[in-house]
Amino acid sequence: MTERTLAIIKPDAVERHLAGKIIQRIEDEGFQIRAMRRIHLSAAQAEGFYAVHRARPFFTSLTQFMSSGPAIVLVLEAADAIKKWRTLMGATDPAKADAGTMRKEFAQSIERNATHGSDAPETAAYEIGYFFAGIDLI
Ligand code: ADP
Ligand code: MG
């Protein structure tokens, strides 16, 4: 079933000029890029995006990092896109990520881990709607 997911090239990867390499991999793996935008999140916008994690010990550090510089947000479309993109990203902790994954290749730490991907259909719908309007996705 064709599905959409939200991907983010996080500030660490944008700062290190890795966006082009990551987008190339996304295209090579057969995703359609349905929408894409560069955005520098405010602290409040990062807190809203990661609201599900607000009780976690890393929440303040994570939202500071995510608002520290520009990021690129994308809507990716493919069969089974949510799982497919998470597989390509690799494990949250780059030390545990498989060879060839985005996080193994590009992450610096469990926090500065280069990319984000939605984890379920409900979160994908929320996260896509956080950044893009319906009219952007026709
Ligand atoms: P994922 O991004 O793989 O879905 P989570 O949803 O669990 O992972 O966490 C969201 C983000 O929070 C991670 O991508 C990472 O940037 C950061 N993070 C997760 N766990 C930790 C941790 N133990 N210490 C610091 N940052 C973390
Ligand atoms: Mg997550």
pLDDT digits (tens, 9 = 90+) for 115-135: 999 999 999 999 999 999 999
CA of 109 to the centre of ligand 1 (A): 10
Residues whose CB falls within 8 Å of the CB of residue 77, separated by 6 or more in sequence, listed in order: 2, 3, 4, 31, 32, 33, 34
Reported pTM: 0.98
pLDDT of the residue at 109: 98
pLDDT of the residue at 7: 99
The two three-digit tokens of residue 119, written as one number:
């984890």
Residues whose CB falls within 8 Å of the CB of residue 96, separated by 6 or more in sequence, listed in order: none
In the structure, ligand 2 is a single-atom ion and the residues with CB under 5 Å from it are 119
Give the distance, in angstroms, between the CA of residue 21 and the centroid of all CA atoms in the same chain.
Answer: 14
Q: Which ligand is nearest to the Cα of residue 96, counting in written order?
A: 1
34: Cα within 13 Å, side-chain hemisphere:
21
pLDDT of the residue at 125: 98
How far apart, in whole angstroms, are the C-alpha atoms of residue 92 and residue 98?
Answer: 11
Express each pLDDT in 6-60 by its tens digit. 999 999 999 999 999 999 999 999 999 999 999 999 999 999 999 999 999 999 9
Atom of ligand 1 at shortest range from CA of 65: 16
Nearest protein CA to atom 26 of ligand 1, as residue:
111
The two three-digit tokens of residue 8, written as one number:
């983010």
How far apart, in whole angstroms, are the C-alpha atoms of residue 63 and residue 48?
Answer: 9
pLDDT of the residue at 70: 99
Contact 9, 41 (CB under 8 A): no
Residues whose CB falls within 8 Å of the CB of residue 103, separated by 6 or more in sequence, listed in order: 89, 90, 91, 92, 93, 94, 97, 113, 114, 115
| Residue 116 a catalytic site member | yes
Q: Which ligand is nearest to the Cα of residue 111, counting in written order?
A: 1
